[in-house]
Amino acid sequence: MLLWFAFHPGGVLAEGMPANSHQANNETGQFRANPAGNNQQQEKNGHISPLPNTTPLVGIIVDDLGHLRMAGLRALRLPGDLSFSFLPNAPYARELAEVARELGKEILLHIPMESRGGHNLGPGGLTKEMTRAELTESVCASIKTIPYARGLSNHMGSLLTSRKRPMRWLMEAMLACGPKNGNGLYFVDTQTTGATVAAATAREYKIPTLERDIFLDHKPDPDAILAGFRQLVQKAKKRGTALGIAHPYPETLTILKRVLPQLEDRGVTLVPVSTLLAKRTQGRKQSD
């Protein structure tokens, strides 16, 4: 029997861990979205979602979606207010993002960025060699692929997110090409390096910003994933909010399906990233 409060060894997510590792190659199958979901709230393009009661809040982003159709569909079937981050130029990104939209899920763009390990970025990747015009064009093209995304996060990026100039260009591109209705994209720094300047740069541009707290599946092992959940819940109870990132590994999806319904019993509430962002923003204003 798997225990919720398993020991967690800690550690930093290794960049370049393929989004499709441990996953089957069978990419056929049917899934019909339920248009009667909670999409009315998510159709509103603003950042500030209604805040629930004063219980600690947890946000969970399922990252790296778009390469494997069946894994993506399985992730979208999970219960609760998860948020989903899509690699904009992956083969199934648009299809899966459309399903997520119909289900009322919160959607992010997951932009590949250059890592210190030199991992393959694929289409739409951002590198330190890019000019300002090239980086801006690439970011804007990615935003157009899924125009109803609420936020943007970095995929890998241990090198690029440590460079101030490309991070400035990224934030300027987000402001230039994001929604023009007064509610632009928010930014999530996945913190693949301790030297990141991404979140700090986003705040300089007044872009709503969050940093990742926990990688739930640094090791795609059931006990390690459960230990990551323990850390996430404890951090939320200590600080009031916590943001976790997971990936569409079979092991992770199995654990998520099992433990997400337990979060309320553990004394925390699962919310979209925008609600978590609103809570943290509210907390900062009250402390000023």
Confidence tier at 239 by pLDDT (50, 70, 90): very high
- Segment 191-229, tens digit of pLDDT: 999 999 999 999 999 999 999 999 999 899 999 999 999
Task: Say whether 60 sits in a helix, a strand or coil.
Answer: strand
Give me the mean pLDDT over the 256-284 stretch. Answer: 92
Judged against a pLDDT cut of 60, whether residue 3 lies above it is answered with no
Distance between CA atoms of 76 and 62, rounded to whole angstroms? Answer: 9
- Segment 53-107, tens digit of pLDDT: 678 999 999 999 999 999 999 999 999 999 999 999 999 999 999 999 999 999 9
Looking at domain 59-287, its CATH superfamily turns out to be Glycoside hydrolase/deacetylase (3.20.20.370)
| Residue 67: how many other CB atoms lie within 10 Å | 21
Closest CA to 244 of 63, 4, 96, 88: 63
pLDDT in the model for residue 28: 32
pLDDT in the model for residue 5: 33
pLDDT in the model for residue 152: 98
CB 111 within 8 A of CB 154: yes
CB 198 within 8 A of CB 156: no
**Mean pLDDT, the chain, whole residue set:** 85
First to last CA, the chain: 46
Distance between CA atoms of 81 and 15, rounded to whole angstroms? Answer: 27
Q: Which residues contact 149 (CB under 8 A, 6 or more apart)?
A: 86, 97, 107, 108, 109, 143, 185
Judged against a pLDDT cut of 70, whether residue 280 lies above it is answered with yes
**CB neighbour burial string for 194-215, b if at least 16 within 10 angstroms, e if fewer:** eebbbbebbeebebbbbbbbbb
pLDDT in the model for residue 41: 41
Structure letter (DSSP) for residue 171: H
| Most confident stretch, 13-27, 36-50, 102-116 | 102-116
Q: Where are the domains of the chain?
A: 59-287
Give how far Cα 208 sits from Cα of 2, 43, 113, 254, Å: 37, 19, 20, 32
Task: Say whether 44 sits in a helix, a strand or coil.
Answer: coil
Confidence tier at 114 by pLDDT (50, 70, 90): very high
pLDDT in the model for residue 180: 79
* Residue 56, burial from CB neighbour count under 10 angstroms (0-12, 13-18, 19+): buried
Confidence tier at 183 by pLDDT (50, 70, 90): confident
Confidence tier at 23 by pLDDT (50, 70, 90): very low
CB 189 within 8 A of CB 196: yes
pLDDT in the model for residue 50: 56
Helix (H) or strand (E) segment spanning residue 257? helix 250-259
Give me the mean pLDDT over the 28-48 stretch. Answer: 39
Give me the mean pLDDT over the 173-181 stretch. Answer: 90
pLDDT in the model for residue 32: 33
Q: Which residues contact 4 (CB under 8 A, 6 or more apart)?
A: 226, 229, 230, 259, 262, 266
- Segment 7-17, tens digit of pLDDT: 233 333 334 44
Distance between CA atoms of 114 and 52, rounded to whole angstroms? Answer: 37
Residue in the block written with tokens 């433990």: 259
Give me the mean pLDDT over the 157-170 stretch. Answer: 98
Judged against a pLDDT cut of 60, whether residue 34 lies above it is answered with no
CB 70 within 8 A of CB 28: yes
Backbone dihedral region for residue 41 (phi beyond 0: left; psi -120 to 50: alpha; all else: beta): alpha
